[in-house]
Chains A and B, each alone.
Chain A
């Protein structure tokens, strides 16, 4: 089973520069954080889904559906009961329900934006994109190597589990807590096996000239093309519009007055 979210398509989204995709993801986070308005957040989510649809990566929504459903149910259940409101019926309030919808939209939008980014960008592209953003190469290398090591470490632990099972260790019986208790000691040989490889790994890197020169050449060469500038321009336009809407209290007030149930930005308690 593939542990990672990346979907190997040749879509317009996949062909975008990783820096463009990273900036667009951060812009979507910014807009999501800026607003506490159901309508705006729903529109943002729709945009993020369309963006993911361009890359044909929405199939991955299935893989994270449990997370999304749990966030939604948790937000609705908690805030419908917990939110202070004058219109409470028993312990539930309609205002709380809308607040829960708003929080669920906000969190799910960011998670879907993250999913779209990871589904359309290879690890080496993310790593190279970070270097282009002036993140030191060694940091980006450690990040990319760590991601590649995860399946290897999982495979090592699986081998250790199989070895212990073949020696008679019963890992299948017992309740969840008992199972966790049996599995946890198996962490130790995995950890030791991983750490033991440090010296050989370091020597292998140095024998290949790791750190020999601060100027490196790369097989993967990133260039921003017109499509990247177009998408970045579109993103900046939307972000500017969002900032203008947020800062222009008259326009935003008019908008909110049309749908008063949808907005919670004026209801934050900024008190000592």
Chain B
């Protein structure tokens, strides 16, 4: 988590935050009219970007995704949901780059996100799924707490709406983008000091695993709790009736969200330590 704050001392990272945010917002805005849940979410091909921005630019990509989503909300949907959208979109880019290094599924010499092997593409699909789920968990939990939108419906719609573009568009864009970003020395691991990059060793591995478990527990457990109070997934979640603001959903999804945040602080073990 340390790198999320120390990155602000690097001018190049600050610029990458601004460019990532501008880019994400610029792709989000034209699709604001393709509404899925009015005032809450819409069709988002731009969801292809946060995972890539996270893997390439690390914490700058995560801040960029958060700020870019907020700017997107400025075009007609700024509301209380924007607060959870900020955190959710931060997690959308943050979780993938953390898990890429800290889940321990890639060897040290395989950690460049160039997507050149089947294993790396499989890993990309996995981190995209967990990143999309993390974003959905935070936003759906927040709006369930406020009693605004059913967790089951919103959580499932956001997960799929984020995941599909991340994989379908993200993989080809990533394959084209990586060599250029690497050539221009813009990978976050090349910009940040080595003590602020990730090693995937020690407690960080535990943190990575806890992050994965927290997201899955929060989202799947939240869905199960939501079914218990009459909610359902996707648009049937609105048709099913079910009450919004159920304490069971709030607690289960809240534990997942808390686990997601706590696990971030465990992943601070770096190369220099």
A-side residues, CB < 8 A to B, are 3-5, 29, 32-33, 36, 63-64, 66-67, 70-71, 73-75, 78-79, 81-84, 103, 106-108, 110-111, 113-115, 117-118, 136, 138-139, 141-143, 145-150, 152-154, 157, 180, 184, 187-188, 190-192, 194-199, 201-202, 205-206, 210-211, 267-272
Contacts and interface: CB of A to CB of B under 8 A. Distances in A.
Contacts of A84: 230, 241
A33 B80 contact: yes
Nearest to A60: B76
A132 to B, nearest CB: 18
A208 to B, nearest CB: 11
B171 to A, nearest CB: 13
21 contacts: A3-B75, A33-B80, A63-B76, A70-B38, A71-B39, A73-B38, A79-B238, A81-B239, A111-B79, A118-B74, A118-B78, A139-B8, A146-B21, A147-B71, A184-B45, A184-B169, A187-B27, A191-B23, A195-B180, A202-B15, A205-B14
Interface string B173-205: 100110011001110000000000000000000
A79 B35 CA distance: 18
The secondary structure that dominates the A interface is helix
Given A67-B32, A194-B23, A196-B184, 4 more contacts: A5-B74, A67-B35, A142-B21, A205-B15
A205 B11 contact: yes
A107 B79 contact: yes
B238 A269 contact: no
B153 to A, nearest CB: 10
A83 B64 CA distance: 38
Given A111-B77, A184-B169, A187-B173, A66 B33 contact: yes
Interface in B1-35: 8-9, 11-12, 14-23, 25-27, 29, 32-33, 35
Interface in B199-230: 225, 228-230
Interface stretch (B90-98, B126-134, B244-252): B244-252
Contact of B19 (A136, A139, A149, A267): A149
Contacts of A188: 173, 176-177
B247 A198 contact: no
Nearest to B46: A187
A108 B82 CA distance: 14
A272 B247 contact: yes
A146 B24 CA distance: 9
Nearest to B240: A82
B122 interface: no
Contacts of A64: 76
B124 to A, nearest CB: 17
B245 A270 contact: yes
B149 to A, nearest CB: 9
A195 B240 CA distance: 45
Interface in B142-182: 146-148, 169, 173, 176-177, 180-181
A67 B33 CA distance: 8
Contacts of A141: 14, 18
A191 B177 contact: yes
Nearest to A196: B184
Contact of A150 (B8, B9, B22, B186): B22
Contacts of B112: none
A110 B80 contact: yes
B186 A154 contact: no
Nearest to A144: B18
A198 B19 contact: yes
A199 B183 CA distance: 12
Contacts of B76: 63-64, 67, 111, 115
A3 B32 CA distance: 13
A70 B33 CA distance: 10
B63 A142 contact: yes
Contacts of A5: 74-75
B45 A180 contact: yes
Contacts of A114: 73-74, 77-79, 82
Contact of A70 (B14, B35, B78, B246): B35
A126 B182 CA distance: 35
Contacts of B240: 82
A250 B45 CA distance: 50
Contacts of A107: 38-39, 79, 148
Contacts of B88: none
Contacts of B25: 146-147, 150
A191 B22 contact: no
A271 B247 CA distance: 5
B68 interface: yes
A192 B179 CA distance: 11
The 10 closest A-B pairs by CB, nearest first: A114-B78, A149-B22, A146-B21, A269-B243, A110-B79, A145-B18, A153-B26, A71-B38, A142-B17, A70-B38
